[in-house]
Structure 1
Amino acid sequence: MQKRIVIVGAGPAGLVTCKALLSSSTPVHEFLPIILEQEDDIGGTFRYRSYENSNLVSSKQLTSFSDFRLPLDHPDHLTLEEYVEYLRAYCKKFRLNELIQLGTKVTNISRDRTTGEHEVSYVRKLPGSDQWESTPRVIRAQYVAICSGLHVTPAVPDIPGIQSVLQRDDTEVTPAVYHSHEYKVRDQLAGRRVLILGTGETGMDLAYEAAKAKAKEVVLCTRGGFLSFPKALNDFEVFGFKFESKTPLPIDTLITNLAETAYVHPWVAASHIRWFISDFVIKRVLWLLTGTQAGCNQWVGELEPERLGRAYVFLNKSHKAMPYINRPFRTRPAVPDYLSRYIDPPEDSPPRTSFAVDLAPFPTHFNPDGRAVFPVLPKRKDSMRLEHLRVHEGREVRPDTVIFATGYRQEFGFLDPASEYGTPADADVRNIVKSGDESVAFIGFVRPGVGAIPPIAEMQAMFWISLIKGQVRQPLPPPHYHLLVKETARIKYGVDHSTYMSTLAKDIGAAPSLWELYKEYGLHVLICYCFGAAFTTFYRLVGPFRSPTAAHIVKTEIWETITRRGILGNLFMGVIPMAFYLTLNAAAYVFEKIGRLCGLVHEE
């Protein structure tokens, strides 16, 4: 039976959803997808919100789609331009271009109450113009995939008096106030006094770019701190001996599968004890190696203790600005610094007396003369946060450039409210569809604490297709993959990458058993699966989305990624954690069996 499917958006999520639908089409479920994209090119955020010197913070190993990989000799982290070229090659390889309508804006999606079909209204851009057609066209579809992305509509908080910055007439440059999506080149920051609002990865990138552009002053404002890690492990010195790597290990490839995502007892999963234990260990290791456990060699901007860890926040992997931010605060004594030391890139590590990036809280308002006014925050323990002291010691901050690196908000004005589609927040079935309505999927709207959205979107597409075909296990076990946040948290769509991917794979019968892998593929693939991270390719070795190329990718690229850790790396980041968690899961299994025999535990 033919099923017309409209996909909104030609970013990575839309492209991989289209390709997955084509690959899964059968005479019983004949999928006819079409992608509607309002921009003139594919790529979404990676194409239209990129800027000079921007790179992916997720590795090629994790970010690449399961059956279309990059060469082994390609750098681990792509520039945004390189990633868009990768997406173009993906479209060419799987013949998606003929299914993409560029310059096509969806204006309304509503449900036909009689047939249940969706009426997708859209307008096309007039040739050679930025104007749109006045009369909408309509496509009727049985299914709709919303893949419009997390980063579309800029979120700009209202800060009283900010217009006074633009009204300054005492500067050598033209004052500017804009959102980060308008930033494109380093020259925009040269010679300026820059105030950046937001310490996410974009804010960190902009702080670094401002420092390298020789801005006169850079003040970076944070709401409540951040957790900073480099996207790839840098060099260390232990007892004066320098550990160098020509190819630093991407940190998103270090988490192992066995006993962390595969063979995890439901009690262990529900308790999140794996997250808390790994946080405890990582903090101690960081303290030994760098002198601080706030982050990796992070001496300021620390999170509150109750939010410090992988269970609570998104890891900030734009680490380039940290040497400039740390400079006034790094106070490690000489002896422990000799015992072990994290080595910052030399080009970003001049003396402490040189240029630094200052941290501050978000300003409450701006005075008529353009001066930023910062709140006096409550004391924590016996002192204020260190970065807050610097802006309360008589220091005047009068920027001529203010950049909102404050992220984006999600808007779905094209979804007819009367049709009760909801939003991604209403997608209570694995954060993909709303209960009782599998005909509309929200794909690409969760954000991993450590990981990447494109491979998650691929797994979400496979889950949705399995749901349409009636191949998802029922009932679904409770979700144990959400990051732990307060009800008042601004962002509630965070997930643990590995746990979420593994959960979806189990739901659709794509998570292999160890015996199944050994019997079909041998020891080589089995070892890779145990020691590897939650690469999507693993979930195409068996099950409904089995790929003929998966085993080769595992034996080559993924094997190379694992062996790059070395013997010690695989011992400390693989064997020891796996042995510990296997023991923990085995103990939970034994206690469950005893409880059932004694009548203390009942079937759910």
Structure 2
Amino acid sequence: MTRVEPPQQPRGFADRRVLVIGAGCSGLSALKECLAAGLKTVCFEKSSDIGGLWRYSRDPSRGTIYKSTIINTCKEMMSFSDFPPDRSMPAFMHNTDVVAYFESFACKNNLYPHIQFDTEVINVAQSDTYQTDGSWTVRFRQAGADQPEQTETFAAVLVCNGHHTVPRYGTVPGLDNFTGRVMHSREYRGPEPFAGRRVVVIGAGNSGLDIAVEISRANDCYDPAEHVPPPAAEKQAKQQSPDKGPGKPAIATSVSTAISLSGHIPGWAFQNPEYDHLYRPAAERSDRAKSTRTRVPAVHLVSRSGTYVMARTTPAGVPNDFQWTSRFNLTMMPPRVKALFSRVGVQFSPAAHDRYGLTPKHDFFSSHPTINGDLFSQLHTGSVVLAPDVFNIEGKTITFLDGRSIIADDIILATGYQIAFPFIDAEDPALADLRVEKNRPKNLYKFVFPIDRPHSTLAFIGLIQPFGAIMPVSEIQARWVAGVLRGALKLPSVVEMRRQTDAELKAMDQLFYESDRHTIQIPYPAYTDEIASMIGCMPPIGSLLLKDPTLFFHLVFKGSVPYAYRLVGPDAWKGARAAITQAGQRMLPVHMRLTRDTMATEMQRLVDETGSAVTRQISSILTLLALVAGVLFTFYRFGFLTGCAAALLCAYGLTV
């Protein structure tokens, strides 16, 4: 019989320990919120310090960012809701700045004494008394080969190990035949090992573009002597049939056929025989081409389905995520209007995607955007060359769908990650509901709580891919989980959780195009607004139109900064309003050349920071007078009933 009541916490729960797995951004949020809720909490971190993926490490076995990584979301959009980054930090922080911010957050909230470093969790399983008290048995081990395994029982377990740990290699035709070096982007640390080598990067996501651009800048690749022609048998077949041959796609010389296969106009459609040395081996070049030392493209970037590429900032210098992730753009604008604006914006952007064959078939908001401001410059210098999907690989010869064949030394697979929990035994019948199918956990309410369980003592935090930074989403999840564990918040019934989850997964499949990249995508800020409503910290945006128009404007038309969830409700923060209204100013470059305009901007920032309550009251009074005048005009012009309706609407707006 299916249980229809929501999970309940057993008595005495707050007296037992809660375990947080991982001390990255999600783990730090979970630890802080559990401690603030009065729960005895400990965090197990596998490495020797906090930061998770954001702490650079040269250890190839550890998941980490590469040395040059800069975060793609601006600092105000990725911050914790009651801890704005220092103004001295750049708008887009280097990975060392991100780690420094995490360290400051941990120190401010006294988290270090509660973190047990160099501790690897081996297994998490239901305890013998799980059905009664919801507890979990955890096996773990301290760093060191001679350290024995230890076992401890916890009242609850919060999984915060992220989803960028287990590489996904995808399917590349002929990859097993490649005689060069193959690696996943997870192993990439910097461009130095690729000096003088020809590289193919497969995957045009954020990592793929970053790696391709970085290698192309550091790599002056000239055609070396070992750039040999294809095998004799293949060359003979090509001479007999120029259109078809072993290891070559069955395409004719017509451009239309190639477009149907690759999705865009191939590069060879525009080639002049005078420049055939760019793609032909040395032995096949003309005499004139042989006489020069040829610089070849350092990197070929394979984009299978195209992608939308954005710079970090708009032409006006405003961070793109702050500009476009407003509640008006993402939650209030009708989907068709939003799709129309995205298509027009992409076509008239400085880097129109159609010119490069990058435009995908889906709309802009149907995919996680790719952030890179340098790709198009590298394309124009010839350092990076775009290519469609791989058709076949033989030795070091890679043939693409548009018929081009190149010689490559290295292949980097920027093909994403698999969702996995190495410490949860998927074969355990008691944990069957936690299995991941098609790279998606299907039995998690809001991607947090397992649905079909008698106790809500297991939660996953940060197991989502938002349209923006993950930090604010992890934090709001952690606040929700801490409230549930403490007993202050209750979950819906199992039937209701299942209904909502099925509906949300279906809606997500319709909103985002089908891809392994979008199995845990969530609409931001609609997702966080919903959880904030359950917590009781969702700001009353409607009433602010009259009470505080300035704040209303920032909450609706500016970036959805996380400080909004500290305006009201539990753990409200007095500095939330100032943090919201000053967010745009805090993202200006710290060191600017002083001119009359920049001095005026700085003076305006100081005025805004001192913020006058009198000014806000005057603004509210003027707004109220305007509404009263509008109601009176409605009475006069449209009659008594219409005027009453307008008055009721205004009264409702004042009380919402």
Tell me the CA shift for residue 152 of structure 1: 0.7
Deviation at 1:284, TM superposition (A): 1.6
Find 2:536's aligned residue among 493, 505, 509. 509
Q: In the alignment, which residue of structure 2 is the partner of 1:333?
A: none
Residue type of the partner of 1:453? I
1:410 aligns with 2:444: no
Question: 1:37, 1:544 → 2: CA distance?
Answer: 29
> 2:318: which partner in 1?
249
TM-score (norm 2): 0.67
Q: How many pairs are equivalent? A: 475
Amino acid at match of 1:255: W
Structure 1 residues 279, 102: closer, same or farther in 2, change over 3 A?
same
* One of 457, 479, 483 as aligned partner of 1:462: 479
Q: In the TM superposition, what is the alpha-carbon distance from 1:559 to its structure 2 partner?
A: 6.5
Measure how far apart 1:110 and its partner are: 0.6
User: Structure 1: which amino acid aligns with 2:575?
Assistant: T
1:23 is displaced (CA, Å) by 1.8
- 2:35 pairs with 15, 22, 27, which one? 22
The yes-or-no answer on 1:203 pairing with 2:203 is no
Secondary structure of the structure 2 residue equivalent to 1:497? coil
Hey, what does 2:251 align to over in structure 1? none
Task: Specify the code of the residue in structure 1 equivalent to 2:449.
Answer: V
CA contact (8 A) 1:7 1:34 kept: yes
Q: Deviations over 1:195-241 (max 9, x none)?
A: 1111111110111112201342311112211111112113xxxxxxx
Post-superposition shift, 1:50?
1.9
1:430 maps onto 2:446 in alignment: yes
Counterpart residue number, 2:363:
308
| 1:89-238 to 2 correspondences below 5 Å | 89-114=104-129, 115=132, 116-126=134-144, 131=145, 133=147, 135-157=148-170, 159=172, 161-162=174-175, 165-166=178-179, 175-216=180-221, 217-234=298-315
2:367–2:518 contact (8 Å) kept in structure 1: no
Mapped contact 1:258–1:531 kept (Cα < 8 A): yes
Q: SS at the partner of 1:277?
A: helix
Which amino acid is the alignment partner of residue 375 of structure 2?
A: A
User: Partner of 1:74 in structure 2?
Assistant: 89
1:528 Cα deviation (Å)? 2.5
1:500-559 alpha-carbon deviations (Å, 9 max, x no partner):
12222122221111365578x844433322333222210111112322332332243356
C-alpha separation in 2, matches of 1:430 and 1:361: 36
8 A contact 1:122–1:136 mirrored in 2: yes
Identify the residue that residue 322 of structure 1 maps to in structure 2. Answer: 376
How big is the alpha-carbon RMSD for the aligned residues of Structure 1 and Structure 2? 3.0
Superposed, 1:543-554 pairs within 5 Å as 543-554=569-580
Partner secondary structure for residue 397 of structure 1: strand
C-alpha contact 2:300 2:385 (8 A) present in aligned 1? yes
Partner of 2:78: 63
Q: 2:526 aligns with which of 470, 490, 499?
A: 499
Q: Check conservation: 1:227, 1:316, Cα contact below 8 A.
A: yes
Compare CA radii of gyration and give the structure with the larger one: 2
| 1:281 paired to 2:341 | yes
Contact 1:510 1:543 in 2 (8 A): yes
- Structure 2 contact 217–383 (Cα < 8 Å) conserved: no
CA contact (8 A) 2:330 2:524 kept: no
Q: In 2, Cα distance between the equivalents of 1:418 and 1:132?
A: 32
Give the 3 Å change call, closer, same or farther, for CA 462–228 of structure 1 in structure 2.
same
Q: Does 1:54 align with 2:75?
A: no
Match of residue 398, structure 1, among 401, 404, 407: 407
Seen in structure 2, the aligned counterparts of structure 1 residues 547 and 200 have a Cα distance that, compared at 3 Å, is same
- Give the Cα–Cα distance (whole angstroms) in 1 for the partners of residues 330 and 515 of structure 2: 29
Q: Residues 257 and 193 (structure 1 numbering): CA distance in 2 closer, same or farther, change over 3 Å?
A: closer
2:163–2:420 Cα contact (<8 Å) kept: no
CA distance in 1, matches of 2:186, 2:330: 36
Residues 463 and 472, structure 1, Cα contact 8 Å, conserved in 2: no
Q: Secondary structure at the match of 2:210?
A: helix
User: 1:588-603 alignment to 2 at 5 Å?
Assistant: none
- Please identify, of 84-93 and 422-431, the stretch whose mean Cα deviation from structure 2 is larger: 422-431
Task: Tell me the alpha carbon deviations over residues 3-37 of structure 1, each in whole angstroms, 9 at most, x when there is no partner.
Answer: 42111111100111111111222xxxxx1111111
Q: Report the TM-score, using the length of structure 1 for normalisation.
A: 0.72
Q: Is the 8 A contact 1:43 1:84 kept in 2?
A: yes
Which residue identity is paired with 1:422? Answer: L
**C-alpha distance in 1, partners of 2:446/2:101?**
28
Q: Which residue identity lines up with residue 556 of structure 1 in the other structure? A: Q
Q: Which ranges in structure 1 are unaligned for 5 or more consecutive residues? A: 26-30, 167-174, 235-244, 265-272, 328-353, 376-388, 565-592, 594-604
Mark the CA change 1:193 to 1:463 in structure 2 (over 3 Å): closer, same or farther. Answer: same
Q: How far does the alpha carbon of each residue in 1:422-466 deviate from its partner, in whole angstroms, 9 at most, with x for none?
A: 0561343111111144211111111123x1111111111122223
Paired residue type of 1:109? V
- Is residue 367–residue 513 contact of structure 2 (8 Å, CA) maintained in 1? no
Q: Aligned partners of 1:186 and 1:142: how far apart in 2?
A: 46
**Hey, what's the Cα distance between the residues in 1 that align with 2:562 and 2:152?**
32
Q: For the residues of structure 2 that align with 1:518 and 1:286, how far apart are their CA atoms?
A: 32
Q: Which residue of structure 1 aligns with residue 652 of structure 2?
A: none
Contact 2:461 2:478 in 1 (8 A): yes
Query: Match of 1:458, as an amino acid?
Result: E
* Deviation (angstroms), 1:185: 2.1
AA at the equivalent of 2:184: H
Is structure 2 residue 45 aligned with structure 1 residue 37? yes
Partner of 1:374: 400
Q: Report the identity percentage.
A: 23
Change (3 A) 1:321 1:142: same
Instruction: Letter of the 2:77 partner, please give it.
Output: L
Q: Return the offset for 1:405.
A: 1.2
Q: Is the 8 A contact 1:528 1:558 kept in 2?
A: no
In the alignment, the residues of structure 2 paired with residue 53 and residue 425 of structure 1 have an alpha-carbon distance, to the nearest angstrom, of 32
| Partner SS, residue 412 of structure 1 | coil
Partner of 1:362: 389
Evaluate the alpha carbon distance shift between residue 275 and residue 464 of structure 1 in structure 2; reply closer, same or farther with a 3 A threshold.
farther
Query: Cα deviations across residues 543-595 of structure 1 (Å, max 9, x unaligned)?
Result: 1232233233224335656999xxxxxxxxxxxxxxxxxxxxxxxxxxxx9xx
Q: Where do 5+ consecutive residues of structure 2 fail to align?
A: 1-13, 58-63, 222-297, 589-599, 602-644, 646-656
Structure 1 position 182, deviation (Å):
1.9
Q: Write the distance in 1 (CA, Å) between the matches of 2:377 and 2:490.
A: 48
Amino acid at match of 2:69: S
Q: CA deviation at 1:179?
A: 1.4
Query: 1:51 & 1:218 partners in 2: Cα distance?
Result: 18
